[in-house]
Amino acid sequence: MDNNEVKCPKCGSNQITAGKKGFSLGKAAGGILLTGGIGALAGLHGSNNVEAFCLSCGAKWNPAKRFEEEKLKEQQRKEDHEKIWKNNFYKAIENGNENLANEIMKRENPNSMYGTDLKHTYSNLKKQDESNATFNIIVMIIVGCFILFVVSKCV
């Protein structure tokens, strides 16, 4: 089986066809109601998007959007996995179980062990986590200030 084979996200079938989306009568009608005759152009919005269609169950989806969603899910899965193994590593070091800590590092992040001991690796990983957390807090503060600024100008 080819991992790049396109399958229906609903039923798993590989009986798929694809084509460009056409003119949307619903969008055109909404545009006309909101803005008059010129609003009919709203029916063209998204008409260049590719739409996949399952011949088995009739499901429709946007392959590009689905690909991006899958990439985000995979990235989140990797981040979650990293949090788990790092927490297990931290606990092993903090409890004095260097054998377990060594096993975890060899399995999860073997390149970080070269030229360092476990306590040094522990210290470096903790510093990295703290730096990432500090950066995230700073970004949230800046975004919050920007939102407050925009809202204050609108009121």
Contact 23, 43 (CB under 8 A): yes
Left, alpha or beta for 96 (phi > 0: left; psi -120 to 50: alpha)? left
pLDDT value, residue 139: 93
- For residue 27 the two structure tokens come to 């969008």
Q: Is 69 helix (H, G, I), strand (E, B) or coil?
A: helix
Q: Please, what is the angle between helix 63-94 and helix 98-108, to 10°?
A: 160
pLDDT tens track for 27-86:
556 655 666 555 555 555 555 577 888 999 999 988 888 888 889 999 999 999 999 999
The alpha carbon of residue 24 and the mean position of all alpha carbons in its chain are separated, in whole angstroms, by: 29
Q: Half-sphere exposure of 82 toward its Cβ, with a 13 Å CA cutoff? A: 11
Q: Is the pTM of this model over 0.85?
A: no
pLDDT value, residue 1: 42
Residue 138 has pLDDT above 80, yes or no: yes
Q: Specify the higher pLDDT residue, 115 or 121.
A: 121
Q: Which of 6-15, 39-48, 103-112 has the highest mean pLDDT?
A: 6-15
Q: Give me the chain's average pLDDT, please.
A: 82
Q: Is 77 helix (H, G, I), strand (E, B) or coil?
A: helix
The total of other beta-carbon atoms located within 10 Å of residue 82's CB is 13
Residue 115 has pLDDT above 70, yes or no: no
